[in-house]
Amino acid sequence: MPEIKVKAYCVLYDADRTHHLVWVGSDPGRVERFHRLIGGHVEFGERAAAAVVREVAEEVGVTIAPRFLGVVEQLFVYADAPGHEVVFVFAADLPQPAPIPPSGGFIDDNGVAIPCVWRPVGDRSCPLFPDDVQGLLDADLAAFAGGSGD
C-alpha cells in the first residue's frame, strides 16, 4: 500500500549564492532530466533539521547549519508508481572550498554515485523537485538581498 513519506531537503548555496547544488535524475518515458535538492528521508524519532544535517553529511561529506525555509507537499508519479511526500525545505551555505567542483561531480547516496551539478538559482529550464521549492528559494534570496539573510 502506498504511504506518505517525510523528507528533508536543502538548498545548498555556493559562496556567491548564484548557484545551488542539485542531483540530476531522470524518469524514462516521463521526464528526460530533472534536478532534485540534496537530502532524504526523515527517520522515525528524528527532527527534520537533524535529518537534513545528517543527509548532507552522508551525501556531500560536509556539516551545514541549515535555515528553515518552509514545507512543500508533492504528489507525483515516478517509475510508474504514485508518490506522496511532505518535504521540509532548508537552506545552507556550503563550506568553502565547496566539496563539488564548479563543473559538477557525484554524491554518494547509500553507495550509489549520483551525478550532481551547480544549478543557477533562477534557472527554470530544467524541472526542479520537489514541486514549489523554487518559490521558497526565490523568497530566501530576496530576504538575503534585502539584508535579512544570514
pLDDT at 81: 85
Q: What is the mean pLDDT of residues 94-121?
A: 92
What does the pLDDT read at residue 31?
A: 66
Which of residues 21 and 26 earns the better pLDDT score?
Answer: 21
pLDDT at 149 over 60: no
How would you classify the pairing of strands 128-129 and 31-41?
parallel
Cα first-last separation, the chain? 43
Q: What is the mean pLDDT of residues 82-95?
A: 95
Pairwise CA distance, residues 75 & 85, whole Å: 7
CA distances from 117 to 9, 21, 26, 52, 64 (A): 16, 6, 14, 19, 19
CATH 3.90.79.10 fits 5-144, yes or no: yes
d(C-alpha 25, C-alpha 35), whole Å? 6
Regarding predicted confidence, which is higher, 59 or 29?
59
Least confident range of 11-20, 41-50, 58-67, 102-111: 102-111
Please compute the mean of the pLDDT values over residues 124-139 and round it to a whole number.
92
Domain ranges of the chain: 5-144
pLDDT-above-70 percentage for the chain: 95
Choice between 145 and 137, residue whose per-residue pLDDT is larger? 137
Element counts in the chain: helices (H) and strands (E): 2, 8
State yes or no: pLDDT of 97 exceeds 60.
yes
